[in-house]
Amino acid sequence: MSSPRLLALLRDRAAVRRFSPRTVQAYSRWVVRYVRYHGMCHPAELPVTAVRDYLTHLAVERGVAASTQSQALAALRFLYGDVLEQPLPAMVNVAPARRPHVLPNVLSRDAVTRVLGAMHGVPWLMASLLYGSGLRLQECCQLRVKDVDLDRLEIRVRRGKGARDRVTMLPTSLVDPLRAHRDAAKVVMQRRWARDRGYVVLPFAQGTKAVGATRNPTWCWLFPATREYWDAAARQWRTHHLHPTVLQRAVAEAARLAGIDQRVGCHTFRHSFATHLLENGYDIRTVQELLGHRDVSTTMLYTHVLNRGGLGVRSPLDLDTAGARPSPLRLSRRA
């Protein structure tokens, strides 16, 4: 079995398991790296220790993060168990990548306001949803018109991380901008449909069961891409959702213009959303449901970055120097 056939079989098995396209892409890349590491030998012909040696190589020689090593192991377990039907034994004597305790990067309310103030148009609206609703980047890009309820102030996230649905809040201040944007997106899609173009992709067999749903306004992407693409399999011009890099670049540029000295990414808004809710006194179980975490221990991470001065403890420097007038700093001429 050649490598292209192996990857094709992997994609077929992943389709049966209903993996997301990003998961299939990541697994395929790990299989390619694994085969290249072992001199282009077929995985079925390698010894049992081949997986252990590769994972140890990633940790010791490549110095990858623990999450990266875990993803590689998951891809290889799927390869051997589901594709080659040769389940791997328990991995022993594998040098695990070190998993550091990293706190999430959180912006202050003023910093969030400055970053959003430096944005405009669709990127501003999407970044506002990331912060106002706690959405992940991909969840925001993949929103459809029917997922946003402007009357109930709810956003339904379909097949989020872990293929789980959830409902989160919709900020009241975004109702009017979202309504105007939604109406404009519908007009754009109707113009494309009038030219027999711009059909949307539906999940799984929805396009077969619901004939004409590819031209149903409720199934439209809330943030459609500005360009169309040719789907050779369906023989149609289709419309994809806005690519995540568009928002990533806009956020990075806005943070630069706002003069933020810390690292700011799209996921920073989600971290700030959770932290600011906890600062406002909302219970952690509510925040867990809004974020879509499986375990409350994941949400507990945000309790370590609450803006309360070390869990409400006041620094002895502030106590001892209360009322003291600080002297201005003077730089040495030799510096």
Question: Residue 310: which pLDDT band, with cuts at 50, 70 and 90?
Answer: very low
Better-scored residue on pLDDT, 209 or 59: 59
- Residue 333: what pLDDT? 56
pLDDT of residue 115: 96
Place 331 in a pLDDT band, splitting at 50, 70 and 90: low
| Contact between 197 and 224 (Cβ < 8 Å) | no
Average pLDDT estimate for 271-293: 90
pLDDT of residue 64 exceeding 70, the answer is yes
**Annotated active-site positions, please?**
136, 161, 267, 270, 293, 302
Q: Which amino acid is located at 231 in the chain?
A: D
pLDDT score, position 324: 56
Most confident option among 102-106, 288-292, 330-334:
288-292
Which residues have C-beta within 8 Å of that of residue 224, sequence separation ≥ 6?
185, 188, 189, 198, 239, 240, 241, 242
Q: pLDDT tens across 179-222, in order?
A: 999 999 988 888 888 888 888 888 776 666 666 777 788 889 99
Q: Tell me the average pLDDT across 25-33.
A: 94
Burial class (CB in 10 A: 0-12, 13-18, 19+), 165: exposed
Rounded Cα distance between 16 and 18, Å, is: 5
**Tell me: the pLDDT tens digits for 73-128?**
999 999 999 999 888 877 666 767 776 677 888 999 999 999 999 999 999 999 99
Query: What is the set of domains in the chain, with CATH numbers?
Result: 3-83 (1.10.150.130), 102-312 (1.10.443.10)
Mean pLDDT over residues 147-154, rounded? 94
pLDDT at 326 over 60: no
Query: Average model confidence (pLDDT) for the chain?
Result: 85
The tokens 């173009």 sit on which residue? 197
What value does the mean pLDDT take over residues 307-320?
56
Task: Identify the pLDDT of residue 312.
Answer: 54
For the chain, what is the largest distance between any 2 Cα atoms, rounded to a whole number of angstroms?
Answer: 78
What is the per-residue pLDDT for 308? 54
Residues 62, 68, 70, 75, CA torsion sign: negative
Please report, to the nearest 10 degrees, the dihedral formed by the alpha carbons of residues 31, 36, 38, 41 taken in order.
Answer: 80
